[in-house]
């Protein structure tokens, strides 16, 4: 005799493992650049520059030289997330075993991992907005603030695209044949007045970074160690220079490379912790758990003349 099991459904244990948080490539631009807090709507990046006109030593007073005070505006956008969750809907699924006894469901049973996932996603979307935000042509989340690419694409004062023998475009982003030449050309265009700066960075996509690293290896640079001993993943010093190449999520899929001092890029916000703080609360009137996050975001650069900008053609 054997068991007759045709009336049963194969068993799948949905209770054994905890929820697993999805992997998210979070942003790190904010950790590298200048952050200017305390902006409710608009503020200025205040700059000072001076010229020195030397004179031969002699009696008398001949005034010469000027000191200029100039400004660049940084305007922030108000951004928020409102989410409503009916916890009762979890009762019909495996998640019911995580819930407290009783019919009053006033909290998310897996609130910690839910919160961590929300935090990571917020950091990721802030990174995207810093680089790719565009209130004119952006779609979805990217339409809520203006980013650096929009700023650089529109400004005629920037250095023209670096002349190379090949193009690095969105269509060929996976196979630029001369990534090393492009980086070398950008380094050669660093303005003389910042050539010895200690925070020169070339910001690129992760795709471009991997290709650049491979081309260095393929060039028989047997001493090449990449980012192994340089303190930051997906980051390395351009050989023989004081310029660091660093991959950022915000440039994913973009045919853009930006070289400047990291401190020259300014991210404006109201409160430094706004992008990390949020509220999860139970609304008794609506019998639902609600998620609220609010922050302000804007970008600019202090000295546009200190930016070398590569735009694929």
Tell me the domain boundaries of the chain: 29-311
Are the C-beta atoms of 47 and 303 separated by less than 8 Å? yes
Residue 300 CB: number of other CB atoms within 10 A?
21
Tell me how far apart the alpha carbons of residues 125 and 132 are, in angstroms, rounded to a whole number.
Answer: 10
pLDDT value of position 91: 66
Tell me how far apart the alpha carbons of residues 230 and 217 are, in angstroms, rounded to a whole number.
Answer: 17
Tell me how far apart the alpha carbons of residues 243 and 288 are, in angstroms, rounded to a whole number.
Answer: 51
Task: Give average pLDDT by consecutive 10-residue segment, the chain, 313 residues.
Answer: 58 51 72 89 78 80 79 86 81 68 72 83 91 92 93 69 43 63 88 91 92 82 58 84 94 90 91 75 84 90 88 68
Residue 85 CB: number of other CB atoms within 10 A?
17
pLDDT value of position 8: 55
CA distances from 163 to 212, 247, 253 (A): 17, 22, 21
User: Could you tell me which of 142, 110, 152 has the C-alpha nearest to residue 20?
Assistant: 110
pLDDT value of position 298: 92
CB-based burial, 136-153: b 16+ in 10 Å, e otherwise: eebeebbebbbbbbbbbe
Half-sphere CA count of 247, side-chain side, radius 13 A = 21
User: Could you tell me which of 174, 203, 206, 198 has the C-alpha nearest to residue 308?
Assistant: 203
DSSP, collapsed to helix, strand or coil, labels residue 258 as strand
pLDDT value of position 173: 47
Tell me how far apart the alpha carbons of residues 74 and 267 are, in angstroms, rounded to a whole number.
Answer: 8
CATH-assigned architecture of domain 29-311: Alpha-Beta Complex (3.90)
User: Could you tell me which of 9, 7, 5, 18 has the C-alpha nearest to residue 94?
Assistant: 18
The contacts of residue 277 (CB under 8 Å, 6+ apart) are 271, 293
Are the C-beta atoms of 208 and 179 separated by less than 8 Å? yes
pTM (2 decimals)? 0.80
Tell me how far apart the alpha carbons of residues 219 and 181 are, in angstroms, rounded to a whole number.
Answer: 12
pLDDT value of position 163: 41
């Amino acid at each position: 005799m054997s068991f007759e099991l045709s009336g049963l459904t194969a068993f799948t244990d949905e209770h054994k493992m905890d929820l697993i948080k999805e992997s998210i490539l979070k942003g790190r631009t904010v950790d590298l650049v200048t952050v200017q807090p305390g902006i409710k709507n608009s503020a200025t990046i205040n700059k000072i520059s001076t010229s020195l006109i030397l004179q031969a030593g002699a009696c008398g007073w001949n005034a010469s030289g000027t000191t200029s005070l100039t400004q660049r505006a940084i305007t922030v956008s108000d951004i928020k997330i409102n989410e409503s969750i009916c916890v009762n809907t979890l009762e019909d699924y495996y998640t019911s075993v995580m819930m407290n006894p009783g019919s009053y469901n006033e909290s998310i049973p897996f609130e910690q991992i839910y919160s961590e996932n929300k935090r990571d996603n917020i950091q990721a979307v802030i990174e995207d907005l810093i680089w790719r935000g565009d209130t004119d042509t952006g779609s979805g989340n990217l339409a809520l603030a203006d980013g650096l690419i929009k700023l650089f694409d529109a400004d005629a004062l920037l250095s023209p695209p670096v002349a190379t023998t090949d193009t690095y475009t969105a269509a060929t982003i996976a196979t630029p044949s001369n990534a090393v030449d492009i980086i070398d050309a950008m380094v050669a265009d660093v303005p003389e007045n910042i050539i010895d700066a200690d925070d020169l960075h070339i910001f690129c996509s992760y795709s471009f970074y991997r290709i650049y690293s491979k081309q260095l290896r393929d060039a028989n640079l047997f001493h090449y160690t990449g980012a192994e001993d340089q303190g930051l993943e997906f980051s390395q010093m351009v050989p023989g220079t004081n310029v660091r190449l660093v991959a950022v999520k915000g440039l994913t899929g973009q045919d853009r490379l930006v070289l400047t001092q990291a401190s020259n890029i300014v991210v404006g916000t109201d409160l430094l912790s706004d992008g990390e703080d949020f509220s999860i609360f139970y609304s008794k009137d609506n019998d639902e758990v609600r998620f609220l996050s609010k922050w302000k975001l804007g970008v600019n650069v202090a000295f546009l003349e200190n930016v070398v900008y590569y735009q694929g053609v």
